[in-house]
């Protein structure tokens, strides 16, 4: 419809004004739209820039990761669990001898390259990682390269993309070639084993040397002791004194070597007992008084009166350290000089010791070396002073073991001062300790102890004729009568004949050694046997042996001996060991003898299915099996415990039958294998006493000692009968 033209000027102006307003409105909207478009364009540009920056940063991170993996020689692998596809980086492929490029394969194909001995373990690791039993994995395995060589590979990784049940959708890891490191580790382990073997060989050598030297040395020192107690001229007595000093020096050297061996092997143990501080210092000085008097040396001792009279610690090792330091001081101090011992409270508690002299002194460059073994300040072939250079090395190590550190202050021509502080605390009253004695002092000691042991009938088990003579003479001076056995079999037989109050048992003897002889005596005592005229159910036994290495005393005590003394035997050590063995025997609480063969079928030597009515197997003995410990091993599974008890009972009957058959036929192979198998089975079910008895049977079988085997087998049968009774109860639970 057409619009009428304006009729008046006002109308025309009004229309123009409306058109102008409309145009301004459109122009305004156009500007707003343009601004909005500009803003949108700017926003899009910013987003694009941010995305580009993020992508560049991600690329940089990937590059850095790739460079790090390449630098470390590691390959990346990724396993998609659902599809079985495995991605291998270029480095991974290169590690196994393939073309260095990224590749894909199936996990089954990759596992075919794993060494058969490592496949099961690797499968377990990967399965646990996928299932969620472990979040990360670490594995070492051998893998076959493309040129059919085996290399060791080490891999670390984790499971990712886990679902609600915790199952991983992917496993990602890194791997590296560990062949060279594995070779080095194996070489290191082999070197360690070789070193341990060499150390064991050294220990065995020292033990052999110790025994071989101590045996004749015991004879020499004993004969000197006997000659000293006989009519002598003054010249002869002087010669004997020199011989005694030389023998004591040799014994001291032997003890030093053994002490150093114990320290280096970490087997030196400290005792802790109360002792009188003044007495120990005096006893350390005592052996050197005569030597100092010859050189006109003054030995001055100054002990602070504020110190406690009795302290707690290892008196023997303290005395050994002081004796070594004083011996050096006397040796290296010229005639007319002075040696001082100063004992005072430590600056931070404990007790401070200082041994000083006015001797030749030690140069600064030598002071760092004198605490090393077999090292002396003067190592020339024309050196004036003797010795092995072990004293200071041992002293330094002993002080360290006791919690201190030796310090040295010295200068050439100005003397030396050795000092150390030990954490010794007050201990109240104590029994006076005893130190080494000279031959005349030892003979005097025998006369003072004769009343204590007079009238004892002593069995001397000793295969060395000189040592036998010396032991009989020492015991004679104590008022004892003696019976002699030259081997372990004779010793057991003599003991069984009766009227033996005490046994002096050598360890290394022919036919039957002292340890096995003691085991047999204790087994017979445990079965209720008591020799005629025996005053006690437990005969005192003293180990008298040249075996003086670490652990030898423990072996003797474990075999059933009551005390121990090492050769060369001093009267002082002998009487102390005899008194100790008598005390142990007097306090012994014997168990009622268990029934012997009544629990065993006399025709088949098999165990009955149930114990005989009215029998009380092993009354007074410890339980035959540690049931709580066995239950713990089986995680409390009663069904498994019952099955184990049934199976073990069948095995026990079979082993006992085999052992009885081996004894009848004296079949050494059958006896050894059966005893060993039984020992292992018994140890597995925590039957420790029965296992120990089986071990004794095995040793007897290996040596073909059938008399001992025949006497020990009934004891084992009795213990097995007790065990069978306990296992039967477990079957019923």
- Give me the pLDDT at residue 41, please: 67
Q: Which residues pair with 542 in a beta bridge?
A: 504, 563
Q: How confident is the model over 434-457, as pLDDT tens digits?
A: 444 555 555 565 666 667 888 899
**Cα 66 from Cα 601, distance rounded (Å):** 78
365 in the same domain as 276: yes
Higher per-residue confidence, 408 vs 649: 408
Q: Which residues pair with 416 in a beta bridge?
A: 410
Q: How confident is the model over 194-207, as pLDDT tens digits?
A: 877 776 676 667 66
For residue 26, being part of any structural domain is answered with no
Average pLDDT over residues 49-70: 57
713 in the same domain as 649: yes
- Give me the pLDDT at residue 141, please: 92
Higher per-residue confidence, 438 vs 390: 390
For residue 304, being part of any structural domain is answered with yes
Average pLDDT over residues 529-535: 85
The pLDDT confidence band at residue 549, using thresholds 50, 70 and 90, is: low
559 in the same domain as 607: no
Q: Which domain holds residue 714?
A: 597-612+621-732
- Give me the pLDDT at residue 484, please: 94
Q: Is residue 564's pLDDT more than 60? A: yes
- Give me the pLDDT at residue 352, please: 94
Helix axes 514-526, 488-497, angle to 10 degrees: 30
Residues ≥6 apart with Cβ < 8 Å to 110: 86
User: Edge-to-edge, what's the strand order for the sheet holding 351-357?
Assistant: 298-303, 338-345, 351-357, 416-422, 407-410
- Lowest-confidence region among 175-189, 293-307, 449-463, 611-625: 611-625
Structure tokens at 563: 């005390």
Among the ranges 195-204, 532-541, 566-575, which has the highest mean pLDDT value?
Answer: 532-541
Distance from CA of residue 684 to its chain's centroid? 22
**Cα 193 from Cα 196, distance rounded (Å):** 5
Cβ contact 656:597 at 8 Å: no
Residues ≥6 apart with Cβ < 8 Å to 513: 488, 507
For residue 224, being part of any structural domain is answered with no
For residue 25, being part of any structural domain is answered with no
Q: Is residue 314's pLDDT more than 90? A: no
- Lowest-confidence region among 37-41, 99-103, 214-218, 689-693: 37-41
For residue 36, being part of any structural domain is answered with no
User: Edge-to-edge, what's the strand order for the sheet holding 502-505?
Assistant: 481-485, 457-461, 502-505, 541-545, 563-566
Average pLDDT over residues 489-518: 90
560 in the same domain as 669: no
The pLDDT confidence band at residue 374, using thresholds 50, 70 and 90, is: low
449 in the same domain as 501: yes
Distance from CA of residue 402 to its chain's centroid? 20
601 in the same domain as 577: no
577 in the same domain as 494: yes
Residue where one domain finishes, among candidates 426, 457, 484? 426
Higher per-residue confidence, 490 vs 551: 490
**Cα 715 from Cα 695, distance rounded (Å):** 13
Average pLDDT over residues 475-495: 91
Structure tokens at 502: 């005490």
For residue 502, being part of any structural domain is answered with yes
- Give me the pLDDT at residue 604, please: 40
Q: Is residue 678's pLDDT more than 50? A: yes
- What percent of the chain has pLDDT above 90? 14
- Lowest-confidence region among 2-6, 123-127, 181-185, 314-318: 2-6
Could you tell me the CATH number of the domain that includes residue 508? 3.40.50.2300
Q: How confident is the model over 699-714, as pLDDT tens digits?
A: 888 888 887 788 888 8
The pLDDT confidence band at residue 607, using thresholds 50, 70 and 90, is: very low
Average pLDDT over residues 234-263: 76
**Cα 462 from Cα 469, distance rounded (Å):** 9
344 in the same domain as 388: yes
CA atoms within 13 A on the CB side of 508: 16
Average pLDDT over residues 120-140: 90
Domain count along the chain: 4
Query: How many angstroms separate the Cα of 460 from the Cα of each of 505, 560, 563, 617?
Result: 6, 17, 15, 35
446 in the same domain as 571: yes
Task: Compute the 3-state secondary structure of the chain and give helix, strand, coil in percent, each to the nearest 5.
Answer: 55, 15, 30
Could you tell me the CATH number of the domain that includes residue 132? 3.30.450.20
The pLDDT confidence band at residue 3, using thresholds 50, 70 and 90, is: low
- Give me the pLDDT at residue 320, please: 86
Within 172-314, residue ranges assigned H as helices are 179-228, 234-264, 277-285, 289-294
Mean of all residue pLDDT scores within the chain: 78
| DSSP characters over 597-646 | GGGS-TTT-PPPSSPPTT--TTTTSPPSS-HHHHHHHTTT-HHHHHHHHH
Could you tell me the CATH number of the domain that includes residue 401? 3.30.565.10
602 in the same domain as 580: no
Average pLDDT over residues 588-592: 60
Helix axes 391-401, 234-264, angle to 10 degrees: 50
For residue 371, being part of any structural domain is answered with yes
- Give me the pLDDT at residue 534, please: 84
Which DSSP category does 5 fall into? P
Average pLDDT over residues 148-169: 90
| DSSP characters over 670-722 | HHHHHHHHHHHHHHHTT-HHHHHHHHHHHHHHHHT-HHHHHHHHHHHHHHHHH
Q: Is residue 601's pLDDT more than 50? A: no
- Give me the pLDDT at residue 461, please: 94
- Give me the pLDDT at residue 382, please: 32
Residue where one domain finishes, among candidates 139, 160, 177? 177
User: Would you say the pTM of this structure is higher than 0.75?
Assistant: no
Residue where one domain finishes, among candidates 157, 177, 197? 177
Q: Is residue 487's pLDDT more than 50? A: yes
470 in the same domain as 359: no
For residue 717, being part of any structural domain is answered with yes
Q: Is residue 572's pLDDT more than 50? A: yes
Among the ranges 23-32, 281-290, 529-538, which has the highest mean pLDDT value?
Answer: 529-538
Query: How many angstroms separate the Cα of 409 from the Cα of each of 359, 402, 415, 612?
Result: 12, 21, 9, 78
- Give me the pLDDT at residue 344, please: 92
464 in the same domain as 379: no
Average pLDDT over residues 449-477: 85
Q: How confident is the model over 344-360, as pLDDT tens digits?
A: 998 878 899 999 999 98
Among the ranges 210-214, 483-487, 620-624, which has the highest mean pLDDT value?
Answer: 483-487
């Amino acid at each position: 419809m057409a619009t009428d033209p304006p009729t008046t000027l006002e109308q025309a102006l009004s229309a123009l004004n409306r058109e102008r307003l409309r145009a301004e409105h459109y122009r305004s909207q156009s500007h707003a739209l343009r601004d909005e478009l500009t803003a949108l364009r700017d926003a899009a540009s910013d987003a694009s820039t941010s995305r580009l920056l993020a992508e560049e940063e991600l690329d940089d991170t990937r590059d850095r990761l790739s460079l790090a993996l390449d630098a470390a020689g590691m390959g990346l692998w990724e396993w998609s669990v659902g599809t079985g596809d495995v991605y291998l980086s270029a480095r991974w492929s290169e590690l196994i001898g393939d073309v260095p490029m990224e590749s894909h394969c199936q996990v089954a194909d990759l596992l075919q390259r794993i060494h058969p001995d490592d496949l099961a373990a690797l499968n377990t690791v990967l399965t646990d990682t996928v299932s969620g039993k472990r979040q990360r994995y670490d594995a070492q395995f051998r893998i076959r390269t493309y040129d059919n060589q085996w290399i060791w590979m080490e891999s670390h990784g984790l499971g990712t993309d886990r679902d609600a049940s915790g199952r991983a959708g992917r496993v990602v890891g890194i791997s590296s070639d560990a062949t060279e490191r594995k070779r080095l580790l194996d070489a290191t382990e082999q070197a360690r084993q070789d070193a341990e073997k060499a150390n064991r060989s050294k220990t065995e050598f020292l033990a052999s040397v110790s025994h071989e030297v101590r045996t004749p040395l015991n004879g020499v020192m004993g004969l000197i002791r006997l000659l000293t107690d006989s009519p002598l001229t003054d010249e002869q007595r002087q010669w004997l004194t020199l011989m005694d000093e030389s023998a004591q020096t040799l014994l001291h050297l032997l003890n030093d070597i053994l002490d150093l061996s114990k320290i280096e092997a970490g087997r030196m143990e400290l005792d802790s007992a109360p002792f009188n501080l003044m007495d120990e210092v005096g006893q350390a000085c005592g052996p050197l008084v005569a030597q100092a008097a010859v050189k006109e040396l003054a030995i001055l001792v100054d002990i602070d009166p504020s110190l406690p009279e009795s302290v707690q610690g290892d008196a023997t090792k303290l005395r050994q350290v002081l004796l070594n330091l004083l011996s050096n001081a006397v040796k290296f101090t010229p005639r007319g000089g002075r040696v001082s011992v100063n004992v005072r409270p430590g600056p931070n508690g404990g007790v401070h010791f200082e041994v000083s002299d006015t001797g030749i002194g030690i140069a600064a460059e030598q002071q760092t070396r004198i605490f090393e073994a077999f090292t002396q300040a003067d190592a020339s072939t024309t050196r004036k002073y003797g010795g092995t250079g072990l004293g200071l090395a041992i002293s330094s190590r002993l002080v360290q073991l006791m919690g201190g550190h030796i310090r040295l202050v010295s200068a050439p021509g100005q003397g030396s001062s050795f000092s150390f502080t030990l954490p010794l605390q007050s201990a109240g009253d104590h029994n006076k300790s005893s130190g080494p004695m000279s031959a005349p002092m030892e003979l005097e000691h025998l006369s003072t102890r004769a009343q204590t042991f007079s009238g004892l009938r002593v069995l001397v088990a000793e295969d060395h004729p000189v040592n036998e003579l010396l032991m009989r003479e020492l015991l004679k001076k104590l008022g004892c009568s003696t019976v002699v056995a030259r081997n372990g079999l004779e010793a057991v037989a003599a003991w069984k004949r009766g009227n033996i109050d005490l046994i002096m048992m050598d360890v290394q003897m022919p036919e039957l050694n002292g340890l096995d002889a003691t085991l047999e005596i204790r087994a017979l005592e445990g079965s209720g046997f008591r020799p005629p005229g025996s005053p006690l159910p437990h005969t005192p036994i003293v180990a008298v042996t040249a075996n003086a290495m670490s652990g030898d005393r423990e072996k003797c005590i474990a075999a059933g001996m009551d005390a121990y003394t090492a050769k060369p035997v001093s009267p002082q050590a002998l009487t102390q060991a005899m008194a100790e063995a008598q005390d142990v025997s007097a306090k012994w609480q014997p168990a009622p003898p268990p029934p012997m063969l009544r629990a065993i079928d006399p025709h088949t030597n098999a165990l009955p299915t149930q114990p005989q009515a009215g029998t009380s197997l092993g009354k007074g003995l410890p339980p035959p099996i540690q049931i709580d410990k066995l239950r713990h091993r089986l995680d409390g599974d009663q069904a498994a415990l019952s099955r184990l008890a049934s199976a073990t009972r069948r095995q026990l009957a079979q082993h006992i039958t085999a052992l009885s058959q081996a004894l009848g036929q004296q079949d050494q192979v059958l006896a050894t294998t059966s005893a060993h198998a039984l020992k292992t089975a018994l140890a597995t079910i925590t039957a420790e006493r029965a296992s120990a008895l089986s071990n004794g049977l095995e040793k007897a079988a290996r040596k073909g000692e059938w008399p001992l085997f025949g006497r020990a087998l009934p004891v084992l049968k009795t213990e097995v009968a007790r065990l069978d009774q306990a296992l039967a109860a477990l079957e019923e639970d």
